[in-house]
Amino acid sequence: MPFVIRALVRLAALFALTALAALPARAFETNARAAIVYDLTTNTILLEKNADQPLPPASMSKLMTVNMLFEALEDGRVSLDTRFRVSERAQAMGGSTMFLNTTDRPTVEELIQGIIVNSGNDACVVVAEALGGTEEAFARMMTERAKALGMRNSTFVNASGWPDPGQRMSMRDLAILAVRLITKFPQYYHYFGQKEFPFDNRAPDNRFNRNPLLKLGIGADGLKTGHTQEAGYGLVGSAVQGGRRIVFVISGLESAAARAKEAEAIVNWAFRQFTVKTPLKAGQRVAEVPVFLGAPERVGLVPARDVSLLVPVIGGDQLTARIDWTDPIMAPVAAGQKLAEMTVLRDGLPPSRVPLYAEGPVARAGFLPRLGAAAGRVLDMAMERFGPAPPPPAAPPAPEPDEPGNALTN
C-alpha cells in the first residue's frame, strides 16, 4: 500500500550558496482593532489580528463597487466614455460626495475617480443604479460576487459603505479584494494613486485623495480609506519597494492622524524587517528518491521554477525543509513528473510549500532486476505483516498555492 515518506533536511546543506536567517523578525504590535499584512510578491501573510471578524468597512467597501465597475469594463458592458444618469436619490446622498445633480451625465472614468479620490457616495449610487437597476439589487449582486471571489465574511446592503448593520467586511476579505484589483485590472490601477480630482471644481476642499501615504514617497499607490463613528478610521493600502509589493488593511483607529502613523509604520516594518532570497534555481537538484523497478534506481528532485522565500533580515539560525513523497514511486517516470513536495519551515512565518519534479526520465528495469526487486518487495511485505507494527502513515501534504492571493483564501 502506498504511504507518505517524510524526510527532514537542513537548508544549509542544500543551499550552500545562500545563507538564510531563521530567527523571527521584530513583531509588530498594531494599534488597529483588526488588521492583516500580506506580501503579495511571495504570497506570505506577515501579520493577522482579528482578520476574519466581520466589521463595518465604511468607505473601504467602495472597493467592491469599483470592482463591479471594472468587471463591467472588462466584459464590454460599458466603456470609460459611457455616461450614466444621476437620480434624485444619488443627488440626495450626504457625507462625502462629488456634488452631482440630476442634470449631470458623468462618464464612467469620472465616476471611478469620484469614488476612489473623492470617496463620492453619490457616485457609488449612480454606478449601482446603472449596473443593477436599483442600489438594493446592486448590493445583492455585490454580496453574491464577493462569495464567488472567496470573500466569506462580506455582506452588502448599499454601494457606498453608508453605516448599516448589514454592511460588513473582514480585513482578509478586503485584502483579497485589493489583490484582485491590483492583479486583475492593472490597466485601471493607476486611479488608486491619483492624488486629486477636482470634478468641475464643485468641491475644492474635497478634491484630494485621503490616503495619507501617497505623499510620503514610500512606494504607496493605493487603495482606499474609510471612516465612520462605528468603524473608526481604516485604510486598505499597498506599496512597492525593491520589487516587492505588500497589501495591508487596518481598521478601528481613533483618528486620521493615528491611521496615518499606523499605516506608515506597517509599510516600514514590512519592508525593513523582511527580505526576499532565492535559495533554489529552477532545475537545481534538492534530493534523490528511490524508484521501484527503475533503471536507474534513483531520480533527482528539482523545482520547476526559481524558489523565492521571504525571510527575516536579522538572524543566524538556518531554515529546515521537509520533503514528502508517496512510496513506492513506480517506474517508468517521465522527466518533469511531479513526485514530491518540499515544505520550508520559517520561524514566525507560515510554511512555504514547493512542488518537486523528476529531474530526468527513469525507464523500467530489465527482467532480472525486476524479478529481484519483486522478491525483495514480497519479503518487505512479509516483514510488515509478521514483524513489528509500522508507524502510522503521515498525513498527505497540503497543496501548494499557485497564484497570488491563495494564502489569503486558504
At residue 322, the 3 state secondary structure works out as: strand
Beta-bridge partner residues of 358: 301
- Measured CA to CA, the distance from residue 23 to residue 313 in angstroms comes to 9
Cis peptide before 392 (omega within 30 of 0): no
| CA proximity to 43, closest of 349, 335, 333 | 349
How many whole angstroms separate alpha carbon 162 and alpha carbon 66? 15
How far is residue 146's CA from residue 148's CA, in Å, rounded to a whole number?
A: 5
Q: In 10 A of CB 208, how many CB atoms?
A: 15
Residues involved in catalysis: 59, 62, 119
The CB density around residue 289, as the number of other CB atoms within 10 Å, is 21
- Tell me how far apart the alpha carbons of residues 150 and 148 are, in angstroms, rounded to a whole number: 6
**Burial of 198 by CB count in 10 Å (0-12 exposed, 13-18 middle, 19+ buried)?**
middle
